[in-house]
Amino acid sequence: MSSLVISEHIEITPGICGGKPRIAGHRIKVQDIVIWHERMGMSPDEIIYHHPSITLADVYAALAYYHDHREEIRQQIEAGEAFAQQLQGDKPSLIKKILKGKNVNQD
């Protein structure tokens, strides 16, 4: 029964969001919900406040999917973070430059 409920809210479509599990009909990935909830400390109500096109049931289905596929989702999050780090390379962020008082137009 629970997998039926989750399949109503979560879908995986090759070519959309890299084939990662996402809220059905949206581009919000399960890993996005996990990051907002676990790392940023947002409650499910806060998540739907900031993303009113999804429902509370969508958020809870994403969290249930995550708990059923924890390793897979964690690997996806880590891969995304590694990719972002690779893109940044050795260049400090613009915010770090500003905080250090450097002229950001020099580079």
For 56-86, the pLDDT digits (tens) are 999 999 999 999 999 999 999 999 889 888 8
Percent of the chain with pLDDT over 70: 88
Mean pLDDT of 17-33: 96
The per-residue pLDDT for range 52-63, each reduced to its tens digit, is 999 999 999 999
Q: What confidence score (pLDDT) does residue 88 get?
A: 78
pTM of the model: 0.77
Q: What confidence score (pLDDT) does residue 95 get?
A: 73
Structure confidence at residue 91 as a pLDDT band (50, 70, 90):
confident
d(CA 56, CA 62): 10
Mean pLDDT of 80-105: 76
d(CA 99, CA 11): 42
DSSP alpha helix (H) spans, the chain: 2-9, 30-34, 44-50, 56-68, 70-88, 94-99
Q: What confidence score (pLDDT) does residue 1 get?
A: 45
Determine whether domain 2-99 maps to CATH 2.40.110.10.
Answer: no
The amino acid at 69:
H
Residue length of the chain? 107
Helix/strand/coil for 29: strand
